[in-house]
Amino acid sequence: MIRKLKLNSLFAKILLVVVIGVVCVSISVTYIIINISKGIFVDNYSESQKKIFDQVNDEIYDFHSEIVKVIDSINSHKAFRTYFTEKNLSTKELSKTIYELKKQMKSSLASNTYDMSVLVVGLNGQSYLNSSELLTIDSKEILDLDINKKSLKNNKTITYEYLEKGITSSTKNESVIIISKALNLKDEKPYGVINFIIKEKSFQKFYDYFTVQINDIVLLDENNIVLSSNKKNNLGEIQEDFRENINELINNKELNKSYESNDNRIFIQRLPYCNLTICGTLDNTKALARIYDVKYILFICIFITLCILVVIFLLVGQMTKPLYLLTEKMSKVKDGNFDEYIEVSGPEEIKELSSTYNYMIKDINKYVKELVVVQKEKRRAEIHALQMQINPHYIFNTLSSIKWLIWQGNKDKATSAIDAFISMIRNTISKTDEFITIEEEIENLKNYVLINNIRYGDRIKVEYFVMPNCYNYLIPKLILQPFIENSFFHAFPSEEEGEIQVFIKELDENNIKIEIYDNGIGIDNEKLDEVIEKKENKNHHFSGIGINNVDSRIKLIYGNDYGISIKSKLNSGTTITIVIPKINK
């Protein structure tokens, strides 16, 4: 119990964390309870406002659909095309065209309930206004309006724009919204523009039932300029407040979004059919008026917190007891006692921890025993490498070849063969060192190759490319010769001519890279394992050392990060790569 009361003990830390957590949760719950009705009210009210907001979207959609119908009706009628494209009509033709034009306009606007004017201006200078009003500017100035320039440039788009003052006699002192669309047939060039002129205060009827005391609404064009709003002070200005959220909707290809910002609920609805965006704001603070019994709620929360703390105190004490037992056992393991097993008991997590600890102790014991065996095997392999001798068959065949050279009277070749053979025997048998320099290993290879060339002819050329700074590095004796031997007797089996190349260089600041390449027959993937295991090796070669033996020897000396790799392709040769650490003589 004394240990449990220590401030640095696990029990004290867990209890402290739990107490702090419970207190924080209690405070949070208290705050949540106090504000729960507030949250419910805000959510419900926001949902109802969202439905009204969606209804505003429907109203504007109906209005835009009516605009599209009128445009299609006018654009497809012959009288409009004639009136706004022909310049030299006779009086009779002109009268008939104007009559048909008025008739079609009246028919198109038969269901017009939006109190708007329709103005058509042709590129030929003609204009037509559906009402008895007068235009305050001429046709050329109308065509020069930014909105009409945009429409003529993008003749497939319906464009909305806010004007502080209208262009008709009834709107010259009022702000208006102009809807513009170029008139053209299919892919032909535009012959005019049609403008729908509606007062901004008339447009407000689409959403005025949404804009009560706590709500605001803003209608933005594609450039975030305010077209209409219940707040008149920002009409015609760029609205930056919603730009980031609108861009997010566009990038995510979404149409609407609802989010909280500074105690306000924000609704954003994109209208892709007309490149407009509706932004609505609901003031949550103004929408709420509640009185709460704070003292009663605090009392309930404090009582629940105290009950939870008592239960947590008992539970933590029971849970940490087996952990203390485990700690005692593990403290004995660090002194080298690997037989300290623990009884598996307690909660499921503690049982799992105890079982894992027991398995760990068991594995450590097993690993120590295996490590002893591996070290013995490694030492045995090192001793075997030091005691390695030349195959007697190879000695017999080499001496026979020298004898044959002497009998032929070729004393120079015989002398060279004897010198090479003596040097090779001295370096292989007489020297008991396991490590030799790369220079000495290359010299052994040259002697071995010389003897093979004397015995079998010069059909196989061997070249050596060793960086000068690599000659004094130490490598295990006889790790390159087995690969040269393998290339001689397996890469060129049918008396073909070929090349064997040896490349030695520094791989990086710590390692050496050795590559042995031959342009022989190569080997397919199915037989590559046999080459690695050296199953085809026979005793009539030099040493009988298999490739797998060399790889195992390198790994025993330097570790599993080092060894050999083989790349071979049928009829394209073989490349052996050896990586070992740099060790100076």
pLDDT single digits (tens) 103-150: 888 888 876 677 888 999 988 888 888 888 888 888 899 999 999 999
CA end-to-end span of the chain: 64
> How far apart, in whole angstroms, are the C-alpha atoms of residue 225 and residue 227?
6
β-bridge pairing 511-518 and 563-568: unpaired
**Residue 50's pLDDT is what?**
78
Query: Lowest-pLDDT range, 229-238, 413-422, 463-472?
Result: 413-422
**pLDDT > 90: percent of the chain:** 9
CA dihedral 57, 58, 59, 65 (to 10 degrees): 110
Which of the given ranges, 48-52, 187-191, 196-200, has the highest pLDDT on average?
Answer: 196-200
In degrees, rounded to 5, the angle at the alpha carbon of residue 295 between the alpha carbons of residues 294 and 300 is 100
pLDDT band at 4 (very low <50, low <70, confident <90, very high): very low
**Tokens of residue 135, six digits:** 């235009």
pLDDT band at 534 (very low <50, low <70, confident <90, very high): low
pLDDT band at 288 (very low <50, low <70, confident <90, very high): low
pLDDT (tens digit, 9 = 90+) per residue, 59-113? 888 889 888 888 888 888 888 888 888 777 788 888 888 888 888 888 888 766 7
Higher pLDDT, 145 or 485: 145
Residue 396 has pLDDT above 50, yes or no: yes
**pLDDT > 70: percent of the chain:** 79
Residue 438 has pLDDT above 80, yes or no: yes
The residue assigned the tokens 């009988």 is 544
pLDDT band at 360 (very low <50, low <70, confident <90, very high): confident
pLDDT (tens digit, 9 = 90+) per residue, 205-216? 888 877 777 788
> What pairs with residue 575 in β-bridges?
517, 567
Return contacts of 82-91, CB within 8 angstroms, 24+ apart. Answer: 83/122, 83/126, 83/128, 84/120, 84/121, 84/122, 84/123, 84/124, 84/126, 84/183, 84/191, 84/192, 85/122, 85/124, 85/191, 86/124, 87/124
Please give the full DSSP string across 87-138, using - where no structure is assigned.
S---HHHHHHHHHHHHHHHHHHTTT--S--EEEEEETTS-EEESSS--BSS-
Write out the H or E segment, with its range, that includes residue 366.
helix 348-386
**Residue 106's pLDDT is what?**
83
Mean pLDDT score of the chain: 79
Q: 38 CB contacts (<8 Å, ≥6 apart)?
A: 288, 290
Q: 98 CB contacts (<8 Å, ≥6 apart)?
A: 83
Higher pLDDT, 331 or 183: 183
In degrees, rounded to 5, the angle at the alpha carbon of residue 532 between the alpha carbons of residues 527 and 536 is 65
> How far apart, in whole angstroms, are the C-alpha atoms of residue 156 and residue 260?
37
> How far apart, in whole angstroms, are the C-alpha atoms of residue 77 and residue 97?
11
Section 171-199 average pLDDT: 88
Residue 566 has pLDDT above 70, yes or no: yes
Residue 508 has pLDDT above 80, yes or no: yes
> What pairs with residue 499 in β-bridges?
461
Q: 2 CB contacts (<8 Å, ≥6 apart)?
A: none
**Residue 537's pLDDT is what?**
47
Residue 290 has pLDDT above 50, yes or no: no
Residue 284 has pLDDT above 70, yes or no: yes
Section 197-211 average pLDDT: 84
Q: 84 CB contacts (<8 Å, ≥6 apart)?
A: 120, 121, 122, 123, 124, 126, 183, 191, 192
> How far apart, in whole angstroms, are the C-alpha atoms of residue 488 and residue 42?
88
Higher pLDDT, 430 or 522: 522
How many C-beta atoms surround the C-beta of residue 455 within 10 A?
16
